[in-house]
Amino acid sequence: MMPTELRTVRDPAKRSMLLTALYIAQEQYGYLTREAVERVASRLDLPVTEVYSMASFYSLYRTQPTGRYVLQVCEGLSCHLVGGADRLVDYLSKKLGIKAGETTKDGLFTLETVQCLASCGTSPAVRVNDALYENMTMEKIDELLETLRGYHV
Amino acid sequence: MFEKVLTRNCSLPRSESVDTYIANGGYQALSKALREYTPEQLIDVVTASGLRGRGGAGFPAGRKWSFMPKDPQVVKYVCVNTDEGEPGTFKDRELVEKDPHQIIEGVIIASYAVGAPRAFVYIRGEFFLGVKRWIKAIDDAYAKGFLGKNILGSSFSLDLSVHRGAGAYICGEETALIESLEGKRGQPRKKPPYPANVGLWGKPTLVHNVETLANVPHIVNRGAQWYAGIGTPKSTGSKIFCVSGHVRNRGIFELPLGVPLREIIYEQAGGMAFDKKLKAVIPGGASTPMLTPQQLDTPMAFETLEAAGSMLGTGAVIVMNEDTCMVDVARRLMRFFAYESCGHCTPCRAGTQRMLEVLERLEGGKGKPGDVESLEEIARGIAGRTFCPMGDAAVNPILSGLKLFRDEYDYHVKYKRCAVA
């Protein structure tokens, strides 16, 4: 009893590199541009639509450009219970002048809400690109934004 | 005082390093397993220990191992599930970041027991430090001869590598994890066949949660009898409980299974923050039905929580005080499930969206008469009718919330606001 896919895909190990390939392409191009997706598809012998289907399924892949820093505020229950989630999103929204899902005009920050970041014991949590910030407060948000802006003066 | 097993190294300096692990008795179980046990004997030991899966379902680990075909000609795989995403749960992240070698040792022993020459770590994409810790730990294990060809001079060889997920809760379900490892959308497969028969690339595959595997070296080192002596007869061993919400000391507490919920909240976690009254507890992560203060003496074990109408799940205890609006809680949990539904089957895909719409309406002060009834009807229509267990998971907080706090839902419809401050 072999799943159908196995009989049709020539090299299953090659296909399994797709998630990794998309990460690499995303890092090189900044986000998954049409060209990036086409290159991944051609390297892995897959239809372009198939690669897009993957990119849209997994939330860490982006097919639209983002700011230099993506601020992901966890809106999970454990963050909400200790005064995170909405309050932090509202605060960041006001400070940056953007709503969740938007990018600042200078291209520095994108604000997003995300589901549980597995920091429930140290909530509220905010993830900035690949770094996790725990036990967040408004003051710590201020400091963080200042530090990140400082890199681009 | 209970002796910590899984987290005993976590507070040591540089606990993640291979040297710290070896200095504290690490990899002795591996050596013992390879020298003194046949694979069949190891399966017997793990079966006798009573170890049950720690990812949420609690399936007996020894039985899972014994389902793997014994034919040495058949290629087999082992997968390490580090796709921790259940709201309230943060134990696997801790184990990977603080003591990855304990898990690796468990992986090697499990792979030897089921005869798999190749194992994969599947880790949640968001866990960047976890990915780094896994890679470093695996490199070090290769350098010390614990991985690779002829491990510790035995005839057993194993390769282990890390595969990074990309943001999808559903990939924690074992068949979705396998799909994702194969480079596909993480949508669950139909079961049966189970992964032990048809798994990764169609081959028999053993999938285990990180915490489950971390138990294995200790069982081999100290014996099945010792392990079975911890906990309850049906839920043996120790468990890492993740406590979050309105308690004084949130965090991770390793305790024997069967510990009363009251002890976790009032002794380990220091009781309720600001001395507020306890209103409800989610005992095992977002997918498990809620418990009330009257159920505080429930022992935290698989069978006792089931008897109490809930589940042990991942052991993620979310504590809520008297000021918590239970409709708001349901809405937040439903945002999670609606966002994370993989879209494969209609009851889950459409049902979670419809439930979320009703909950947003209630919370937004726009609830209409009939909304609460409709919410219940949708929830009952999803339960038991989805392709994978995620549908049931999504309705658990709704149905248990409706049962316990129905008046709060009705209050939202009548007064267009929360019953609490």
Model confidence over B275-285: pLDDT tens digits? 999 999 999 99
What pLDDT does A52 receive?
96
**pLDDT tens for each residue of B265-304:** 999 999 999 999 999 999 999 999 999 999 999 999 999 9
Tell me if chain A has a CB within 8 Å of the CB of B270. Answer: no
What pLDDT does A106 receive?
95
CA A51/CA B179 separation, integer angstroms: 15
Contact B166 A59 (CB under 8 A): yes
- C-alpha distances (whole Å) from B91 to each of A57, A121, B284, B344 are 26, 10, 12, 29
What is the torsional sign of CA B82, B349, B187, A111?
negative
Q: What percent of chain B has pLDDT over 70?
A: 100
Can you tell me the mean pLDDT for B220-244?
97
What is B13-51 written as a DSSP string? TTTTSHHHHHHTTTTHHHHHHHHH--HHHHHHHHHHHT-
**pLDDT tens for each residue of A81-97:** 998 889 999 999 999 99
Which pLDDT band holds residue A10 (cuts at 50, 70, 90)? low
What pLDDT does A13 receive?
82
DSSP type of residue B272: B
Residues belonging to chain B: 421
Which pLDDT band holds residue A12 (cuts at 50, 70, 90)? confident
Can you tell me the mean pLDDT for A132-143?
96
By CB atoms closer than 10 A (0-12, 13-18, 19+), residue B157 is: middle
Out of A53, A57, A118, closest to residue B93 by CB = A118
| B3 torsion bin: left (phi>0), alpha (psi -120 to 50), beta (else) | beta
Rounded to 5 degrees, φ, ψ at B391 are -60, -45
**How far does the CA of residue B35 sit from the closest CA of chain A (Å)?**
33
What pLDDT does B242 receive?
98
Interface test with B, best of A10, A75, A77, A82 (most B CBs within 10 A): A77
Q: What percent of chain B has pLDDT over 90?
A: 99
Helices then strands, counting H and E runs in chain A, come out as 8, 4
Which residues of B fall within a CB distance of 8 Å from A81? 244-246, 318, 320, 324
What pLDDT does A153 receive?
81
| B191 torsion bin: left (phi>0), alpha (psi -120 to 50), beta (else) | beta
Cα angle value A111/A114/A118 (rounded, 5°): 130
Report pTM: 0.95
* Cβ-based contacts under 8 A for chains A and B: 144
Taking CA atoms, what residue in B is nearest to A20?
B164
Can you tell me the mean pLDDT for B124-147?
96
DSSP type of residue B206: E
CA B378/CA B370 separation, integer angstroms: 12
Interface test with B, best of A2, A10, A19, A89 (most B CBs within 10 A): A19
What pLDDT does A45 receive?
93
Q: Is B10 in a helix, a strand, or coil?
A: coil
Helix locations, B144-243, DSSP H: 174-181, 210-222, 224-228
Taking CA atoms, what residue in A is nearest to B338?
A115
Can you tell me the mean pLDDT for B241-260?
98
Contact B185 A130 (CB under 8 A): no
Out of A19, A81, A116, closest to residue B246 by CB = A81
Which pLDDT band holds residue A26 (cuts at 50, 70, 90)? very high
CA B175/CA B190 separation, integer angstroms: 8
Single-letter amino acid, residue B200: L
% helix, strand, coil for chain B, step of 5: 45, 15, 40
Interface test with B, best of A62, A120, A130 (most B CBs within 10 A): A120
Kindly report the average pLDDT of chain B as a whole number: 96
Candidates B339, B346, B333; CA nearest to B394 is B333
**pLDDT tens for each residue of B361-385:** 999 999 999 999 999 999 999 999 9
CA B178/CA B80 separation, integer angstroms: 11
Q: Is the pLDDT of residue A1 over 60?
A: no
CA B52/CA B67 separation, integer angstroms: 15
Considering only residues 84 to 113 of chain B, which have any Cβ-Cβ distance to chain A shorter than 8 Å?
84-90, 92-93
Candidates B231, B303, B300; CA nearest to B267 is B300
Candidates B289, B341, B1; CA nearest to B170 is B341
What pLDDT does A11 receive?
67
Number of CB atoms found within 10 A of residue B47's CB:
17
Which residues of B fall within a CB distance of 8 Å from A119? 90
**Among the listed ranges A2-6, B249-253, B287-291, B394-398, which one has the minimum average pLDDT value?**
A2-6
Out of A19, A82, A115, closest to residue B164 by CB = A19
Helix locations, B259-319, DSSP H: 261-262, 302-307
Q: Is the pLDDT of residue B240 over 60?
A: yes
What pLDDT does A152 receive?
87
Which residues of B fall within a CB distance of 8 Å from A17? 183
Contact B181 A85 (CB under 8 A): no
Q: Is the pLDDT of residue B58 over 80?
A: yes
Which residues of B fall within a CB distance of 8 Å from A59? 166-168
Candidates B185, B49, B35, B162; CA nearest to B96 is B162
**How far does the CA of residue A83 sit from the closest CA of chain B (Å)?**
10
CA B376/CA B286 separation, integer angstroms: 18
Can you tell me the mean pLDDT for A116-127?
94
Helix locations, chain A, DSSP H: 4-8, 12-15, 18-29, 34-43, 48-57, 77-81, 86-96, 138-150
Single-letter amino acid, residue B231: G
- Per the listing, tokens 């100290």 go with B222
Tell me if chain A has a CB within 8 Å of the CB of B246. Answer: yes
Given a contact cutoff of 8 angstroms between Cβ atoms, the answer to whether B209 and B53 are in contact is: yes
Given a contact cutoff of 8 angstroms between Cβ atoms, the answer to whether B335 and A76 are in contact is: no
**pLDDT tens for each residue of B151-204:** 999 999 999 999 999 999 999 999 999 999 999 999 999 999 999 999 999 999
CA B134/CA B124 separation, integer angstroms: 12
Given a contact cutoff of 8 angstroms between Cβ atoms, the answer to whether B369 and B263 are in contact is: no
What pLDDT does A3 receive?
47
What pLDDT does B421 receive?
66
Contact B182 A81 (CB under 8 A): no
What pLDDT does A9 receive?
46
B403: enclosing H helix or E strand: helix B390-415
Taking CA atoms, what residue in B is nearest to A84?
B245
Taking CA atoms, what residue in B is nearest to A3?
B202
Please report the ipTM that was assigned to this predicted complex.
Answer: 0.92
Which pLDDT band holds residue A6 (cuts at 50, 70, 90)? very low
Contact B128 A131 (CB under 8 A): yes
